[in-house]
Structure 1
């Protein structure tokens, strides 16, 4: 009944406009236009809800083992990296106010931080945390990058191409960590190498049957080499040093996601 009323109202308005401009009146023509406008309106509304950004105060820390995830977790929570901490085979989860915000006056929001282990055997459990995430921080060891570039790219591709990441436009911050090391590569070099490796993976994955890619989305524009700007969700590359607490962009990213 509502759509029928909209249709009649749209037809009447179109006919009045036609009279004002001295245009010929055709009921069939204006009916078709009215239906088209209503259909377009409904499509825009549905698309907006289907691809809207999900609100969540959960930030997921991930990356290969040794990239500095656990050290970052403690730096964000306690202001120290807790030297001597061992690699865990379980996700480290806690809700806290960022250490840099703990001394601020006024209201601050806590963040639920998930430090997910980088061991390959645990990747199957990643989805249960991805679906909770409002943002993802992906750490890369900038000092030992080239020997691991393929593994880093594969892990990153698996995340960026997941349907739920695209659907909810979950933002990803790629952090080139350990920039205080003399052997660290620049973020521009790291970005280009990752894009090059992910481009190769995009080509390889196109040969896989649709049945094997039900949870994946193609993230490369057809006919173009892959760029992070091709992703429907926001992907940013930055540099940091967890050990020296050079984490300005990391703090900003977290605050943007939790609305603090």
Structure 2
């Protein structure tokens, strides 16, 4: 403490010497020092605010992902390309995800939303884990004319319903029945009933295989054993819509996506 006082006295003494020698006004010097201190403090506060804003903006931005899932040839990449460019395109099955920011106008507040088009190849399904913590809504696309993929889609649905991260965050799922322009396409009501029937079969198979290891958590994912599966009883919110990307009839699915932004 004594050393600090001694140093301060020496500094004051030197300032007085400079004042005598060069005619510096001590009061003016104090005023300049005070104003400079205020400006530096304000600059520091603005810097902190900027850092906090940047962190918040980055967090809010990365938590607005629409995850496009579904079998190959269901129209995921075509849908993303259509949203981004308002044009149709011919695509081939991809082995890696496509990421794009899309400006959606047909929602309450027009904004840029990040879409992730994830490959439909079964061997790549494990890769969705890295996106689940930043996903707002899952859009599961299927070909409404493809009856052969029904069991595969039902298996995917059950896996999503049993995914702990999805259930914990209550990530909603929009089932997008695409290609309604085809003459052999099925109405969404029929697709819904067919999927519920297939999921019920898979659910009972899961129950039988896990009977010895059943717990409340598993029952929450699979539903009550005695009740026939319905999407209304799923552990997360599910909505179903039908559309045709080819006919530019996608307003319903865009409106549903907009509900979560």
State the TM-score, normalizing by the size of structure 1. 0.70
Counterpart-to-counterpart distance in 1, 2:122 and 2:235: 26
User: Are residue 112 (structure 1) and residue 114 (structure 2) matched?
Assistant: yes
Offset at residue 81 of structure 1 (A): 2.3
Q: For the Cα contact (< 8 Å) 1:219–1:230, is it kept in 2?
A: no
Residue in structure 1 matched with residue 96 of structure 2 by the alignment? 90
Offset at residue 212 of structure 1 (A): 11
**Structure with greater helix share of residues:** 2
User: Are residue 177 (structure 1) and residue 184 (structure 2) matched?
Assistant: no
Offset at residue 208 of structure 1 (A): 3.5
Residue in structure 1 matched with residue 247 of structure 2 by the alignment? 244
In the TM superposition, 1:13-162 aligns within 5 A as 56-83=63-90, 85-98=91-104, 100=105, 108-144=110-146, 146-162=147-163
State the TM-score, normalizing by the size of structure 2. 0.70
Counterpart-to-counterpart distance in 1, 2:94 and 2:225: 40
Counterpart-to-counterpart distance in 2, 1:232 and 1:113: 24
Count matched residues.
Answer: 198
Find the structure with the greater CA-based Rg.
2
Q: 1:232 to 1:218 in 2, by over 3 A?
A: closer
Residue in structure 2 matched with residue 39 of structure 1 by the alignment? none
- Structure number with higher relative contact order (C-alpha < 8 Å, ≥ 6 residues apart): 1
Q: RMSD of the alignment, in Å?
A: 2.5
In the TM superposition, 1:168-247 aligns within 5 A as 168-209=169-210, 218-247=221-250
Offset at residue 96 of structure 1 (A): 2.5
Q: For the Cα contact (< 8 Å) 2:176–2:242, is it kept in 1?
A: yes
Offset at residue 130 of structure 1 (A): 2.5
Counterpart-to-counterpart distance in 2, 1:230 and 1:219: 9
Unaligned runs of 5+ in 1: 1-54
